[in-house]
Amino acid sequence: MATDNRQRIMTEEYIVLTRTNAVAKNGSPYITLKVGNLNETFQLMVWDVSPTLPPHVGQIVKFMNITDQQGRKSARGNEMICLDMPFESHPLYNLLPRPIKREQWDETINNLLAFCTNESLKNIIKRFADILFDPYSKYPAATNVHHAFKGGLLNHTYQMLHLLEGMYPVLPYKVNVERCILAIMFHDYGKVYEYSPEGEPTEDMFLLGHIYISAHKLHNELEKEGIAAKEIKRIIHCILAHHGQREFGSPVVPCSQEAMIVTFIDNISAKTTTIEENGNMEKVFALETTIVKD
């Protein structure tokens, strides 16, 4: 049976939505890109591209041709043209989420602080809301599943805080909101060490992992501020449990209202963004489903 091996001559521009580096069995480097424009979104392998070379997420690319072999698209590095990052006036600029503005971050933090009663924890929240904005605006939240772009860590954290801001006043049971705020602010803190700003994994991803780094950092800060050991355990539990299940990387599973809230808010932000970032009728293995859009 003949194989379907077609070449498309490309003239369109695409924006790089995600990038993953890899090495073939013969030792040759290649990258897997998800690219999109106003008409389509697809994934392809680009052969013979070094991990240090462009394109980066958010950059515009063109392909002289793409080989399509039974739905598996590929191109060679010398068939790809890397253009500049788009300006706001570019038609593809808004296909990639952009870091939120400082005033949005500050507004949500201030609204959440209005719910807080523990002055010691409020002061810690204020201090780190200011400290974390800048580094979070430079790092991705993942490599290719959700918020996989520079500043994605800020977007993801902000979405979670903003969701808590709307959810907390209508909860029909007692919740220590300070625990939720601190856990959300720090739950992915370790990704500043797991990734480079370009989204490349570092050795800390494999040696320590972001959950440990995040919990360790916040635990130390809370101890330095003299927070009671029992309260520290309740807050740190929310970070340790935020992946929800052990098979998803959580060393423990949620066993408090605050931990459960943080876990589900994390899922809402991550999974709905994953749907938004993928195309219609695209199979998304991370969600174990095919996306259907109107």
pTM of the predicted model as reported, rounded to 2 decimal places: 0.79
Q: Do residues 146 and 273 lie in contact, with contact meaning Cβ atoms separated by under 8 Å?
A: yes
> Which of the listed residues 42, 59, 93 is the one where a domain comes to its end?
93
Where in the sequence is the domain holding 59, given as residue range(s)? 5-93
Q: Are 21 and 101 part of one and the same domain?
A: no
Q: Are 210 and 119 part of one and the same domain?
A: yes
Domains contained in the chain, number: 2
- Sign, CA dihedral 262-263-264-265, equals positive
Residue 144, pLDDT score = 66
What is the three-class DSSP state of 47? strand
> Which of the listed residues 48, 72, 93 is the one where a domain comes to its end?
93
For residue 248, how many other CB atoms are within 10 A of its CB? 11
Q: Are 192 and 55 part of one and the same domain?
A: no
Rounded-to-integer distance, Cα 79 and Cα 45, Å:
12
Residue 51, pLDDT score = 85
Task: Place 7 in a pLDDT band, splitting at 50, 70 and 90.
Answer: low
Provide the β-strand partners of residue 159: none
Q: Are 80 and 169 part of one and the same domain?
A: no
Rounded-to-integer distance, Cα 2 and Cα 21, Å:
31
Q: What is the DSSP letter of 292?
A: -
- Of residues 144 and 128, the one with the higher pLDDT is 128
Residue 183, pLDDT score = 98
Q: Are 220 and 141 part of one and the same domain?
A: yes
pLDDT at 225 over 80: yes
